[in-house]
Amino acid sequence: MELISKLPNLETTIFSVMSALAKEYNAINLSQGFPDFESDPKLIDLVTLAMKSGYNQYAPMAGVLELRERIAEKYELLYGSTYHPETEITITSGATQAISCIISAFINSNDEVIIFKPAYDCYEPFIELNGGKVIPIQLEYPKYKIDWNLVKQKINTKTKMIIINTPHNPSGRIFSKHDMLQLQELTKSTDILILSDEVYEHIIFDDEKHQSICLYSDLKSRSFVVASFGKTFHNTGWKIGYCCAPKELMHEFRKVHQFNVYCVNHPMQIALANYLKEPNNYLGLSQFYQEKRDLFLSLISTSRFKFVPSKGTYFQVLDYSEITQESDVEFAKRLAIEYGIASIPLSVFNVNNLDNKILRFCFAKTSDTLKKAADILNSI
């Protein structure tokens, strides 16, 4: 049998490669984006309670209504923006499943989708699987600012969607109000859809404000917001997220969602609905992670790595150009094998694998882990 791959050029994800090296060489794993500490025991107890209370069969296709109501309350509280819990919010099996369904619902053969690189690595495969064409725009290190004149040049009659990500993984930059107003102006009076990946919305530093797309009425009318409980509540393995969008867009999304996963883990939804009754369970997250960012950067301040402090997410990029001119992929592998610390090379997320000698490190770790990691980085 001759097999013709729909993704012929796709290799094993760098996250799998680096995590495997970390395991093989017993390295401190600052590569893949997950905490090495547990969720709040209260939340875990709520899951147990939900299981013992009989919530062990299929949940409603769109998600438990009480959880969707808590999400609607959150958007009203934080952004003064309204999403109807019955028709405009859907619970998903993580943010990646939401992104997959959005792209599958709307992207057809030869539709163009603009993405900003370095970009989270799931965007492109989903676009290509649906016959779309990726239009990448490279963001320049170290500020990763968007050239909106270039974006304007890339928009044409084939442009179906623009994907944005703020706070931005992997760079740690955030979209400003100016960025959002530029995006709104460029897409005004068009049929261009926006997919706004906001999974790190509660992890933003230095008294900055998250510029959710729902704050801008014209953008909101054409946009999906994608979010993640896993990033917020330190339980990435639960794979529970959600998305919000105007009713007519969500109607099309659910056509795909119902046959993609149908529904999401029932007892965990019940637990999250109860946990979200107390907004302080997520409102303190920025301070929590800023303390970790500041600790990590203070610990490596005497190292040979250069950095601009991350403005959001729980990632920090480090410039190693004063240490070696090795490619970032080779240097990342050598750090794991020879020094016992795993990171992610940024070139794999860039246009034409542009190599700026940058590695991404996850600081969603205990203080002890960060201190051990810093000792290694300072020795290099």
Domain carrying residue 183? 57-279
200 part of a folded domain = yes
Last residue of a domain, one of 250, 279, 308: 279
Residues 326 and 262 in one domain: no
**Residue 10: per-residue pLDDT:** 86
Instruction: Report helix angle 65-79 to 266-275, nearest 10.
Output: 40
Indicate the residue among 246, 279, 312 that finishes a domain. Answer: 279
What gap in Å lies between CA 225 and CA 227, rounded to an integer?
A: 7
pLDDT at residue 328, rounded to an integer: 98
Q: Which structure tokens are listed for 258? A: 């119902």
Q: In the prediction, which pLDDT does 9 show?
A: 86
Q: How many Å apart are CA 160 and CA 148, to the nearest integer?
A: 17
Cα torsion through 266, 16, 11, 321, rounded to 10: 130
Same domain, 109 and 231: yes
| Per-residue pLDDT tens over the stretch 289-316 | 999 999 999 999 999 999 999 999 999 9
Say whether both 231 and 298 belong to one domain. Answer: no
Residue 5 lies inside a defined structural domain of this protein: no
Q: Is residue 41 part of a domain?
A: no
Q: Which amino acid is at 110?
A: N
Q: Do residue 234 and residue 126 come from a single domain?
A: yes
Tokens found for residue 285: 């997250």
Answer whether residue 102 is part of any domain: yes
* Structure confidence by residue, pLDDT tens digits, 138-188: 999 999 999 999 999 999 999 999 999 999 999 999 999 999 999 999 999
- Are residues 303 and 235 part of one domain? no
* Alpha carbon distance 290, 284 (integer Å): 10
Q: How many domains does the chain have?
A: 2
The per-residue pLDDT for 74 is: 98
Q: What is the pLDDT of residues 8-24, one digit of tens each?
A: 988 889 999 999 999 99
Same domain flag for 183 and 297: no
For 78-130, what is each residue's pLDDT tens digit?
Answer: 999 999 999 999 999 999 999 999 999 999 999 999 999 999 999 999 999 99
- Give the H/E segment covering residue 67: helix 65-79
| CATH code of residue 259 | 3.40.640.10
Tell which of 252, 279, 306 closes a domain.
279
Query: Domain check: are 256 and 298 in the same one?
Result: no
131 and 149, same domain (yes or no):
yes
Question: Is 77 among the domain residues?
Answer: yes
Q: Find the mean pLDDT for residues 261-281.
A: 97
> Per the structure block, which two tokens stand in for 260?
């993609």
Are residue 225 and residue 316 in the same domain, yes or no? Answer: no
Reported as a single tens digit per residue, the pLDDT across 39-48 is: 999 999 999 9
Whether 88 is covered by a domain: the verdict is yes
Q: What are the backbone dihedrals phi and psi of residue 256, each rounded to the nearest 5 degrees, phi first?
A: -85, -45
Among 33, 30, 35, 119, CA closest to 343:
30
CATH number of the domain bearing residue 361: 3.90.1150.10
Give the separation between CA 374 and CA 341, rounded to whole angstroms. Answer: 10
Single out the residue of 277, 215, 273 nearest to residue 75, CA to CA: 215
- Distance, in Å, from the CA atom of 187 to the CA atom of 4, rounded to the nearest integer, reads 37
| Same domain flag for 300 and 154 | no
Tell me the per-residue pLDDT of 207-257, one tens digit each, with 9 for 90 and over. Answer: 999 999 999 999 999 999 999 999 999 999 999 999 999 999 999 999 999
The confidence band for 266, taking pLDDT boundaries of 50, 70 and 90, is very high
Q: What pLDDT, on the 0 to 100 scale, is given for residue 230?
A: 97
46 in a structural domain:
no
The reply to whether 1 falls in a domain is no
Mean pLDDT calculated for residue range 344-362: 97
Three-class secondary structure of residue 237 per DSSP: helix
Do residues 213 and 182 lie in contact, with contact meaning Cβ atoms separated by under 8 Å? no
Contacts of 237 (CB under 8 A, 6+ apart): 34, 230
CB atoms within 10 A of CB 209: 12
Q: Please count the other Cβ atoms lying within 10 Å of the Cβ belonging to residue 301.
A: 11
256 and 128 in a common domain = yes
Q: Determine contact, residues 57/261, Cβ cutoff 8 Å.
A: no
> Looking at the structure, do residues 325 and 184 belong to the same domain, yes or no?
no
